[in-house]
Each structure stands twice: as structure tokens, then as C-alpha cells.
Chains A and B, each alone.
Chain A
Amino acid sequence: MGVRPAMIAIDQVTFGYSPESPIFESFTWSVEAGEAWCVLGPSGCGKTTLLYLLAGLRRPISGDVRVDGESLRRPRPRTGLVLQDYGLMPWATVWENIALGLRVRGFYGPDGRHAPRDEALVETQSRVDTWLDRMDLRSVSGNYPAQISGGQRQRTAISRTLALRPDLLLMDEPFASLDAPTREDLQELTLQLRAESGLTLILVTHTLEEAAFLGRKILLLGRPPTRRALVVDNPRAGTAGYRRSEAYASMCRELRERLGALV
């Protein structure tokens, strides 16, 4: 029996926007398929940069970023990305925004480069409708992004990404601009969706409570350059009632102390 390659293997990666001040230096980190990770750190620590490297939107100066066994050269069709400010197109309705990824795939066809090779040309209408219902967006499907709430916008962005059936979901501060109840709803929803699909989740956040709640494993980043992956195990994350348990509170304390020591 062959050993399944890690979902993500970052091998000796060096990256920076200018050569004098690298953000990552010979950085090595790996993630197994199906894991739920949070990347936690203060602003400027390079957590968004890490996500962009994983998304194939930035290329390392040296070293190798492998996703599902293949070195990244460009965005990979089975990787989904959700950003803080939604990345929705203001000129398109909720329906059209959710359909965008499927349309892009239809535009190129299953060429293995822009869309997975094994994907039959997709039934856009029914897939979008499924997500409208699943995410409770049916009533606003004809609205434009400016006409809906922040929570609805983020649900639209998540639907757009999940409609493409990714096996790796990258989220960059996805709930940072939402009010607390909406944020907690969407955190729960993210856990549910992950459990349903078994995808690998990497969520970047600057709030340690969010990391403690969502991440079975937490990667801590401090002041750059980062050379070593500092990982905290959080095995009970995502289980029922965890948010109100003593274990959760002590995890938050631990994260606070370790972050404090880093910065």
C-alpha cells in the first residue's frame, strides 16, 4: 500500500516581497489530507502571504510548495480560496457570483489546468440552486452584493468556492468583518461543511478564540522571518459544546501566552 502524499508540503520555502526582508526563510510545514488548521498570528506576520503561496497566487523565491503531491505553478483547480472582503463581483447578482467558478470552468473545459480533468461539464443551474438553498440565499439570489448583508456576502463567497467541490479550502480572515452572532453562525457552518465534504481546511485568523474554536491544529506565526513551524495541537476543536468548555478556555490562555512569547 502506497503512502498517500501530504495534502500540503512546504519544503524549505523562502519568500519575501523584497529580497532583504524575507517573510519565510527555509520554512518547512506539512498538512495531512482532511485536517482542519488555523494559522494564527498578529498582522504583518505573513499569514496571508502563506495562504497566497498555498493558493498558487505567489511563487516562492526558493523551495517548493506541493499540494496533493504536485508542485504549484499556478492556482490549482481543486483549491478553493475565500477572502475577507468576499471578492464578489459588484456587477453580478448573488446567483451569478456563485456560478462564476463553474462558468470559468465551462469557458476552458476540463483541461486539467484551469479545471479538473476528470470533471464532466457541469450542471451549473442545479449546483448553484443547491448552494442557494444550503446557504439560505434563495431569497436574495437576484440581489447584487451591495444589497445584501455582510454575512450573506460571505455565504455567497463560500458557496461560489464550494460549488467547485474543492478538496482544499483556504480562508483568509473570512469572518473578521462580521458581527459576533453572524461570525459564530458562519464558524459553525464552516465546521459542518468541512465535516460533510472531508476537505482540508486552512483558515487564517488574527483572533485566538477563532483559532481555538476551529483549528484541530494551530500554526503560530510571529514576527517575520519565520523559519520554523510552531504547532499547537487542539484535538477537541469543533466538537459539540467545546466553545463553552474549560478546555477551550485553557486553550485560549495557552495560545495567548505562546503568542505573547513570540512577538
Chain B
Amino acid sequence: MSRRSVLLAAVVLIVAWQVLALLVGRPILPGPVEVLVTFAREIPGDLGLHALVSLWRVLASMALAVALAVPAGLVLGQSHRLNRLFSPLVYLLLPVPKVVLVPIVLLFFGIGELPKILIIFLILFFQILVLVRDQAAGLRPELIDSVRSLGAGRRALFRFVYLPASLPAILTALRQSIGTALAVLYVAELFATKLGLGYYIFLNGSTMFDYPKMYAGVVAMSLLGLGLYFAVDGIHHRVCRWQYAAPSAGG
């Protein structure tokens, strides 16, 4: 996929939006120019603040999920016994749509940052756990044996084998979950908060009836998702260069 074709697709979307806005011809669908002007005006102020709060919540959840799910996944991937014990639990919990847990998490943890971060964390945690576990379990025993024969104990195996081997799984899990994470963040931000893009969109749409601002919030949320997606993808290309290296005939 080239940069040009992505840009072209964006132009097509904006044109379609413009055409649709003209056809609808009502304030509930302002055209792209009006929305983008509002976006540019609001982003240094209120909108920017809400966007930053949302970004912080996603990044904090990501950091927490990676920090906890990666070690857990590596342990389960290395130990058949523990995996047999825990995999039914993971199997049951993984497909539960975490968004339905929003009211429960709010009940228990109330207002503030923690419940929002926690709910996204839950989504990311299971995705990363499963991918890292399968990656670690799929490592060939010959590879482990040959690195052990070089003198590697448990810690060196972790540092030189398990960690680099699970990096692609971590990044893939993050990239795949960004969409869901933001959707759930949006829902979580509808409740018990006065900060975040979810709140901003809801407030301007349903209370203030300021549609251009509401749409500017939607654009901000979309850009947040896109930005995170591209960032994770970029990191993936950088740190897992071997996955993208062209296979050559060799000598």
C-alpha cells in the first residue's frame, strides 16, 4: 500500500462526505470544510485538552497491559502445566465484550481515571496475553536447546529468545486492539467524567447542539485511532525488520 493511494482514499472520503452533506442539506451533517475549520480553531483550546486526556488514557492502558500481559503470556507459553490450568479461564474471558463491563467497573471504581484505564487495559491484556503465549509456546525446542547450550539460563533465555520472539506478537496485538480500545474508551467517557473526547462529542452533540464541534470531536477521535495505528505499525517495521526483509536467494 503506497502513501499516495492512502492519500487518495482520504480525498475520496472527504469528497463523498461533501456530496452527502449537500444532499442532506441539514445542520446535523455539516460539510468537511466547516468541520475542519472548527477543528483547527478548537484544537489549540478545549478540543486539544480533551484529546490529550483520551490519548493519555489509551497510552496508560497500553503500558499497563504490556507490562502485565507479556510476562504472563511468556510464563504460560513456557509452562504446559500452568497453561492447562489457565487456558480455560482465558478461553472464557477473551470473547466477553469488555464494553459491557463499563457500568460494573464504574460502580466499583467510581469516577476518575482508573476505571477508564482499567477497562481498556482489560481488552488489551487478553489480546496480548493470548498472542504472546502462543508465540512463546510455538518456539521450536531445538532453538531453545541450542541457546541453552551456549550457556543461557532462564534470564538470558528471556532476554535473548523469548522477548525478541514475542515482540511481533505484542505489536500485532496492540495494533489489532486499537480500534476496539478507542470504541470502549468512547463509551467509558460518556459516564462520570468531564474530560475526554467521548465527553466532548456527547456534550456538543446532545446538549449544546453544536454539530460542527461534535464532528470536530469525531474527527479528533478518528485521528487518534489512525495516529496510534500508524505509530504501532511504524514501531513494528523498525524493531521487527526481519519480518519485512525480502527473502533472497542467498549465495
Shortest B156–chain A CB gap in Å is 5
A91→B164 contact, CB < 8 A: yes
| Complex interface residues of chain A between 52 and 102 (CB less than 8 A to chain B) | 52, 55-57, 75, 77, 79-83, 85-93, 100-101
A144 within 8 A of B: yes
Which residue of chain A lies nearest to B243 when distances are taken between CB atoms in the complex?
Answer: A91
The answer to whether B242 touches A108, judged by C-beta atoms less than 8 angstroms apart, is no
Contacts of B248 in A (CB 8 A): 143, 147-148
Q: Name the interface residues of A133-179: CB closer than 8 Å to any CB of B.
A: 139-140, 143-144, 146-149, 152, 157, 160-161, 164
**Given A81-B146, A87-B143, A92-B242: A152 in contact with B153 (beta carbons within 8 A):** no
B246 proximal to A (CB < 8 A): yes
Given A107-B156, A147-B245, A147-B247, A100–B149 Cβ distance below 8 Å?
no
Chain A residues 105 to 133 lying within 8 A of chain B, measured CB to CB, are: 105, 107-108, 113-115
Contact A114–B245 (Cβ < 8 Å) = no
A52-B145, A57-B145 known; A104+B152 contact, CB < 8 A: yes
A86 to B149 Cα, complex, angstroms: 13
Could you tell me the distance between the alpha carbons of A92 and B159 in the complex, rounded to whole angstroms?
13
CB–CB B142/A75 < 8 A = no
Determine whether the beta carbon of B149 is less than 8 Å from that of A114.
no
B142 neighbours in A (Cβ, 8 Å) = 83, 85, 87
Most chain A CB within a 10 A radius of its CB, from B151, B159, B243, B251:
B151
In the assembled complex, A103 has its CB within 8 A of some CB on chain B:
yes
Interface pair B149/A80, CB less than 8 Å apart = yes
Q: How large is the interface on B (under 10, 10 to 19, 20 to 34, 35 or more residues)?
A: 20 to 34
B42 to chain A, nearest CB (A): 44
B41 interface contact, C-beta 8 A = no
Contact partner of B147 (CB less than 8 A), chosen from A80, A85, A87, A140, is A87
Contact of B161 among A89, A152, A164 (CB under 8 A): A89
Contacts A77-B151, A83-B142 given; indicate if A152 touches B156 (C-beta within 8 A): no
Q: Note all chain A residues with C-beta closer than 8 A to B72.
A: none
Q: Render B135-155 as a binary contact track against A, CB cut-off 8 A, 1 for contact.
A: 000001011011111111101
* CA of A83 to CA of B146, assembled, Å: 7
Number of A residues with CB within 8 Å of any CB on chain B: 43
Residues of B within 8 A of A103 (CB): 160
Contacts of A90 in B (CB 8 A): 242
* Chain B facing A: main interface SS: helix
Do the beta carbons of A75 and B149 come within 8 Å of each other? yes
B173 CB, min distance to chain A CBs, angstroms: 17
B143 contacts which of A56, A77, A89, A152 (Cβ < 8 Å)? A89
Alpha-carbon separation in the docked complex, A139 to B165 (Å): 26
B250 at the interface (CB under 8 A from A): yes
The answer, yes or no, to whether B43 is at the interface (CB within 8 Å) is no
B240 proximal to A (CB < 8 A): yes
Check B145 against A146 for contact (C-beta < 8 Å).
Answer: no
- B98 to chain A minimum Cβ distance, whole angstroms, is 31
In the complex, what distance in Å separates the CA atom of A101 from the CA atom of B160?
A: 10
Contacts of B245 in A (CB 8 A): 143-144, 146-147
Q: Which residues of B contact A144 (CB under 8 A)?
A: 242, 245
> B155: nearest residue on chain A (CB-CB)?
A107
Task: Report the Cα distance A74→B240, complex, angstroms.
Answer: 32
Would B145 and A83 count as touching, CB distance under 8 A? yes
Q: Enumerate chain B residues within 8 angstroms of A101, measured Cβ to Cβ.
A: 150-151
Q: How far is the CA of A224 from the CA of B79 in the complex (A)?
A: 30
Contact of A147 among B140, B143, B164, B246 (CB under 8 A): B246
Tell me the nearest residue of chain A to B165, going by C-beta.
A91
A89 contact set on B, CB distance < 8 A:
143, 147, 160-161, 164-165
Q: Which of A100, A140, A148 contacts B150 (CB 8 A)?
A: A100
The residue on B at minimum CB distance from A157 is B146
Q: Are B149 and A55 in contact (CB under 8 A)?
A: yes
How close is B194's CB to chain A, nearest CB, in angstroms? 46
- Taking a contact as CB atoms under 8 Å apart, the answer to whether A140 and B251 are in contact is yes
Complexed CA–CA distance, A164 and B146 (Å) = 13
Using CB atoms, name the residue of chain B closest to A106. Answer: B156
Q: What is the minimal beta-carbon distance from B171 to any residue of chain A, in angstroms?
A: 13
Q: Find out whether the CB atom of A152 lies under 8 angstroms from the CB atom of B250.
A: yes
Shortest Cβ distance from residue A58 to the other chain B in the assembled complex, whole angstroms: 10
With the chains together, A108 CA to B157 CA distance in Å? 12
Q: Which residue of B lies closest to A172 (CB)?
A: B142
Contact B151 A108 (CB under 8 A): yes
Contacts beyond the supplied A85-B142, A92-B164: 5 A-B pairs with Cβ under 8 Å = A104-B151, A107-B156, A107-B159, A107-B160, A143-B245
Chain B interface residues (CB < 8 Å from chain A): 140, 142-143, 145-153, 155-156, 159-161, 164-165, 167, 240, 242-243, 245-251
